[in-house]
Amino acid sequence: MRFYYENSMGNTGYFTEDNLARAIYISWNIKVNLYILNDGLEIIDWLEPFHEQAKLILAPFDTNKFNSNLLKEFGYKMIDDKEEREIVDIKTGEVVKFNWDEVIQLI
């Protein structure tokens, strides 16, 4: 999968990640909106409509309800846990865990 991210300051970038949950946690940790690029698309063509090239799948400053609606088609939802938000697999009800040590190294 190919992802595009954008922060509130207008900084943008791309990264390739095979694991959607990991991409969500990385984006969440660095506080950027996460988009998934349409199949076969490598970079955004700014001469084409953005919404036809990529889809928002995480907005870290928005509500759990908003993010759950974005993540629903991928089989995930967001909930509040004791200390922080969690990503939950809708089918199993299990919290999707991620090793935060790996994310910290990317910052």
Measuring CA to CA, which residue among 75, 1, 9 is closest to residue 35?
Answer: 1
In contact, 24 and 34? CB cutoff 8 Å: yes
Report pLDDT for 106.
45
Stretch 27-42: mean pLDDT = 90
Q: How far apart are CA 102 and CA 98, in angstroms?
A: 8
Indicate the domain borders of the chain: 2-104
> Which pTM does this prediction carry?
0.84
- Helix (H) or strand (E) segment spanning residue 22: helix 20-29
pLDDT digits (tens, 9 = 90+) for 96-107: 887 666 555 544
- DSSP label of 38: P
